Amino acid sequence: MEVLRSATSADIELTYQIKKLSIKPYVEKVWGWNEEVQYNFHLKEFNPGEIRIITGKNGEEIGLLCVVEDENCLYIKSILIVSNAQGRGTGTEILTKLIEQAKLTSRRIELQVLKVNIRAKRLYEVLGFGVITQTELHYQMAITHL
């Protein structure tokens, strides 16, 4: 079982590396990867109060989770697992717990995924998410009937 810990301001570099090691190939396909632009965007958007670090079975830091909640919705802003730790059930385990949390509190659960990230979209669909709308680049997905 993976462990989640709250991020701190000291995790700014770690979270940037997790982003690079998880979503860089998809960002490259859509916008291209400019290291300076991506790093500056990360600095601007970094909010350690919203982020939890995912620690794997061997104690290594393998991902991050960012969830924003209100009384009606649990919104998964980011769930990122570094590429060499993907496919081991970590994302499924975390998402299953979040879905259960949403059910227990009678809230919708939503997320968005880049259209080019077909693997993630498939996982979300297996877990019960459906596309509710889309933009040119993203699918907005939700489980609305919990």
Residue 50 backbone dihedrals phi, psi, to 5 degrees? -100, -10
Domain count, the chain: 1
The whole-number pLDDT of residue 17 equals 98
* Average pLDDT by stretches of 10, the chain with 146 residues: 88 98 95 95 95 92 96 95 94 95 94 97 96 97 81
| Cβ proximity of 109 and 96 under 8 Å | no
| Cβ proximity of 113 and 125 under 8 Å | no
The whole-number pLDDT of residue 43 equals 96
Q: Is the pTM of this model over 0.85?
A: yes
| Cβ proximity of 15 and 6 under 8 Å | no
Residue 129 backbone dihedrals phi, psi, to 5 degrees? -75, 145
CATH of the domain at 56: 3.40.630.30
Q: What domain range is 14 assigned to?
A: 3-143
